[in-house]
Amino acid sequence: MTRSRVLPYLLIGPATVFLVLLFVVPLVQTIALAFTDNGEASLTNFRKMVGDLNFGLSISNTFLLVLAVIPLQLCLALTMAMMVQKLDKGRDLVLWIMIIPLGISDLAAGLVWLTILQDRGYFNTVLNMLGLIDGPVNWLSYESPVSLFVGVMLAEIWRATAIVVVILISGLQLIPKEYSEAAEVFGASSWTRFRKITLPLLKPSIQSALILRTVLAFEVFAVVYALSGRNFPVLVGEAYAWQHVNQNNGVAAAYAILVMVISLAATLVYIRTLRTPPEMQS
């Protein structure tokens, strides 16, 4: 009895030690950095952060991006996963092609879209050939926030949907096809089967994918930086700027804490709202 209670803790011990050394220690240091000023406890760093011109903008930009990208990405990934699941032949090939963006770093992904969307990029060339524009249009300038936003969104979706697809496909493969078949025999249309059978049974995978994607989306930086520099301020971009441009690592740490708190909150929301009680699992 006691032994079987202790055993799980023993087994998880090494991983915990590892996490404490490489995660908790830096975390504590960051917190200390953020909440001190010249060696004394203070909220100066946070005051500076909030008082900065870019602060409100970076918050709203980051949240807007998350709110626009994540739902779209989820729908897209669900559609793609369902289609891949239906394929008989060439399934692996399609899967390979779909996950290529996964192998590309986010900075490289940003650069790819930069070559497409910049003044003399492919997009303008095509528009020019079709006679839709006369000269080069600057889609990524801070004077055209909408197209800049759409550009960043496209790059983010292109780059990071594949991981969601992969998680959802592995989830779909765990659902025995008999459930959907039974529903079909009892008169459910394919849309009803998707809504009433596949989606609820896929909930644990959707939850994992959403947590992973949302946390990463709040940390968006390199793609944005490649496309717009600081024309489109986001939270992690500001942390970077304070650290390396303003040489103020206290405020940078404050930003880091803020991003962490937001990510944790989002994770908690997902864990709460997308909970699958044990008795409802297959």
The residue ranges that bind another protein (CB under 8 A) are 176, 178-179, 181-189, 192, 197, 200-201, 276-282
Token pair 């060339």 in the structure block, residue: 125
Nearer to another protein by C-beta: 134 or 279?
A: 279
Nearer to another protein by C-beta: 13 or 200?
A: 200
What minimum distance in Å lies between the beta carbon of 181 and another protein? 5
Three-state DSSP at 158 gives helix
What minimum distance in Å lies between the beta carbon of 197 and another protein? 7
What are 40's strand-pairing partners? 37
What minimum distance in Å lies between the beta carbon of 206 and another protein? 13
C-alpha closest to that of 49 among 246, 264, 265: 246
Q: What are phi and psi of 43, to 5 degrees?
A: -105, 15
Three-state DSSP at 38 gives coil
Nearer to another protein by C-beta: 143 or 279?
A: 279
C-alpha closest to that of 152 among 116, 100, 98, 102: 116
What minimum distance in Å lies between the beta carbon of 269 and another protein? 21
Residue 103 is which amino acid? G
Separation between Cα atoms, residue 185 and residue 181, nearest integer Å: 6
Nearer to another protein by C-beta: 171 or 250?
A: 171
Separation between Cα atoms, residue 37 and residue 123, nearest integer Å: 48
Nearer to another protein by C-beta: 121 or 204?
A: 204
Nearer to another protein by C-beta: 143 or 178?
A: 178
Q: In this structure, what token pair is assigned to residue 49?
A: 């952060």
- What sign does the CA torsion over 256, 73, 60, 265 have? negative
What minimum distance in Å lies between the beta carbon of 174 and another protein? 12
What minimum distance in Å lies between the beta carbon of 176 and another protein? 7
The DSSP call for residue 187 is T
Nearer to another protein by C-beta: 9 or 186?
A: 186
What minimum distance in Å lies between the beta carbon of 195 and another protein? 12
List own/partner pairs for 170-174 with CB under 8 A and 24 or more apart: 170/205, 171/202, 171/204, 171/205, 171/206, 171/208, 172/81, 172/82, 172/85, 172/198, 172/202, 172/205, 173/85, 174/205
Q: How far apart are the first and last CA of the chain?
A: 28
Nearer to another protein by C-beta: 40 or 279?
A: 279
What minimum distance in Å lies between the beta carbon of 202 and another protein? 10
